[in-house]
Structure 1
């Protein structure tokens, strides 16, 4: 089991909201109304760890190890929402999200292939780590800069934990797991070709609720994320290239070969597809690598 070891590792570096946040260093002159509004939206977005956890537990009923790890992930993700709300409670109480606004992002996600979902969230953690690092640089008020640094580090550690479960999945499922990871990796590393940010909170997850079936669509301002990225924190091509590089680098380590470009990963994905198709031909011996 991975859960006991991950529990010890994450417990050892867990930050304390009372003692590790320099609340007394707050400088009101360095927080604009525009910046405070973005903190409000991120607090609501982070609350969506609740329905994501419900999805993970439902779709991984046969995996008690991973389901136990969700207790750590859920706690730390909800803590991100809580610390952002605590910041607002102390310094911009009029912007605190309402319970109704928080509950609006709790809705049912349709069942999806667990391995693809695992890879999707692994990429999401990498992306969010970079978003929060960029946000920390954009903000001018020292307390919120520290908060974004801390929660960004959490996201990186979560990505590392997901990577452990992905490695385990390859040991258990072989080429099927590799194919699932490569498929989603191509999608999530191709953000430059899409018109919207590629992150789990911005993807459609329930056809019956379309178009309000993304987390972002259920925020008080559904257009907020793109505005935050493009015109506020300015998450530009340089930042995006770092996200893509980390996805490709980690997949290369996981799959045992380097990927310098999305095209190389896509070629690998197609080759896995050919191997899987050949293994299904009559009389063929299943090939698992």
Structure 2
């Protein structure tokens, strides 16, 4: 059972919003209107941890260990939204999201295979780690820089926790788990080439609501994420390579086989398809 171990680890790393964020260092001259608007939309996006948690609990009723871990993940992810909202409340109160705007990103996700969903969210944490590092460098106001650095470290720890559950799944399910992880890992690592890097918040998750069934599509500005990455924080190919490298390194460790490219991972996936067939 991993939950007790992960609880202890993440409890040691937990930060306090009142005392660990340097609110008194705020410099109003270093926060632009454009930057404040991105914080607002990011706060709404982070609120989607709520429907994601509901999905995880529904689809993992068979796994009380992982479901218990959701109590940690949900708390910390929801705090990400809260700290961004608190930043706006203190320094740009006119931009605080409304309850209606937050509730708009709470909708039901269609059931999906738990192993694939686990890998999808592991890759999402790897990607968010780099997005938030990049965002911290783009921002000029010191308090929000500190907040984004803090969130980035949280996402990295969450990715490490998911990786432990992936290792557990391989022990339990063998090649079935390896194939699920290789398939989704290849998809997520290769998505940056298309110009639209995949993340759980921009994937379609409810067929009945299509096309209004991504988290991003339900924001006040549905084009925000792409614009933020391309024209604001400028998440370049160099940053994307860090995401891909993180996915490949972790899968190399998980599968005990080196992957230096997405092509190598795809060849391994085909081997697994043949073996399981």
Residue 250 of structure 2: SS of its match in structure 1?
helix
Cα deviation for residue 196 of structure 1 reads: 1.9
Cα deviation for residue 197 of structure 1 reads: 2.6
Is the 2:21–2:147 contact (alpha carbons within 8 Å) kept by the matching residues of 1? Answer: yes
Take 1:271 and 1:223, find their aligned partners in 2: how far apart are those partners? Answer: 38
Look up the match of 1:102.
102
Take 2:185 and 2:196, find their aligned partners in 1: how far apart are those partners? Answer: 17
Q: Kindly indicate whether residue 214 of structure 2 is the aligned counterpart of residue 214 of structure 1.
A: yes
Q: Kindly indicate whether residue 270 of structure 2 is the aligned counterpart of residue 270 of structure 1.
A: yes
Look up the match of 2:11.
11
Is the 2:188–2:197 contact (alpha carbons within 8 Å) kept by the matching residues of 1? Answer: no
* TM-score for both structures, normalised by structure 1: 0.95
Equivalent positions of 1:1-289 (< 5 A) are 1-277=1-277
Q: How far does the alpha carbon of each residue in 1:229-256 deviate from its partner, in whole angstroms, 9 at most, with x for none?
A: 0000000000000100000000000001
Cα deviation for residue 195 of structure 1 reads: 3.9
Residue 222 of structure 2: SS of its match in structure 1?
coil
Residue 235 of structure 1: SS of its match in structure 2?
coil
Cα deviation for residue 107 of structure 1 reads: 0.2
Take 1:256 and 1:266, find their aligned partners in 2: how far apart are those partners? Answer: 15
Is the 2:88–2:96 contact (alpha carbons within 8 Å) kept by the matching residues of 1? Answer: yes
Take 2:243 and 2:22, find their aligned partners in 1: how far apart are those partners? Answer: 29
Take 1:196 and 1:147, find their aligned partners in 2: how far apart are those partners? Answer: 26
Q: Which runs of 4+ in 1 moved over 6 A?
A: none
Unaligned 5+ segments in structure 1 are 278-289
- The number of aligned residues is 277
Q: How far does the alpha carbon of each residue in 1:179-236 deviate from its partner, in whole angstroms, 9 at most, with x for none?
A: 0000000000002332423100000000100110000000000000000000000000
Is the 2:192–2:198 contact (alpha carbons within 8 Å) kept by the matching residues of 1? Answer: no
Query: Which structure is larger by alpha-carbon Rg, 1 or 2?
Result: 1
Residue 70 of structure 2: SS of its match in structure 1?
helix
Take 2:167 and 2:195, find their aligned partners in 1: how far apart are those partners? Answer: 31
Take 2:241 and 2:267, find their aligned partners in 1: how far apart are those partners? Answer: 20
Take 2:51 and 2:192, find their aligned partners in 1: how far apart are those partners? Answer: 28
